[in-house]
A and B are shown apart, each in its own frame.
Chain A
């Protein structure tokens, strides 16, 4: 579910927390953070796939899985 664009950290958990603790918190670091200026001639998605994904460039693509589980399709 989580690819290498995700980072995780472990927040402090108190024995007095009122709710069941979430022990691992995650955040995404999209690929734009590692490309100061896009180089020429990067590989491209096929056009129909690019239109669906929102970018022509696999190097810029970031997937985002919903934390809400899908119900009923």
Chain B
């Protein structure tokens, strides 16, 4: 169960009318290394991971949904006042025909979201290395999005999200260390 706070994790401001940026941001909404894939990956693995690190997966999986809201807000602000002609010019014509003004879980290249983006291997070490890789890939995607846009307000929110990926990656790395530690031996970190 979740308790919902009716505000974003970090304030999202968009200061430039640039529907094209929405097309690229959608990579982090419905792409392979996006926030939806991250949330579903961790909140699914959490059930069968050793109990010392269940809480970590639950916490990070939940935070990924907060990031998903931020990306959704950016995409919404960038597209809500665009005409069909402007959407077509931004490369979003096909999205408009299928979804009208709605958001949808696509990659930037238009590939719909699929559960094959997430893995559950039944092996805690394999799963956590998958998660570490996912965080570093999401960090890289944020870097290219920050490079792409010249809207400093979008850059600001994306830099926050990029930093969270770095912290999450470290936390997963620490989870690996916890699971590596031999229970019989005194732990020295």
Contact = CB atoms under 8 A, between A and B. Distances in A.
Binding partners A and B: yes
Interface residues of B, number: 26
A55 B23 CA distance: 28
Given A35-B170, A37-B189, A70 B177 contact: no
Contact of B163 (A36, A39, A53): A53
A64 B174 contact: no
B166 A30 contact: yes
Contact of B177 (A37, A54, A61, A66): A37
B79 interface: no
What's the dominant secondary structure at chain A's contact region?
Answer: loop
Interface string A21-39: 0000000101110011111
Interface of A: 28, 30-32, 35-39, 51-55, 57, 60-64, 66-71, 73
A38 B169 CA distance: 12
Contacts, number: 71
B149 A66 contact: yes
30 contacts: A30-B169, A31-B166, A32-B166, A32-B167, A32-B169, A35-B173, A36-B173, A36-B174, A36-B177, A37-B173, A37-B174, A38-B174, A39-B189, A51-B10, A54-B10, A54-B164, A55-B166, A60-B163, A62-B163, A62-B166, A63-B159, A64-B142, A64-B159, A66-B150, A68-B147, A68-B148, A69-B150, A70-B150, A70-B155, A71-B150
A54 B150 contact: no
Contacts of A70: 150, 152, 155
A55 B159 CA distance: 11
Interface string B147-189: 1111010010001111110110110011001000000000001
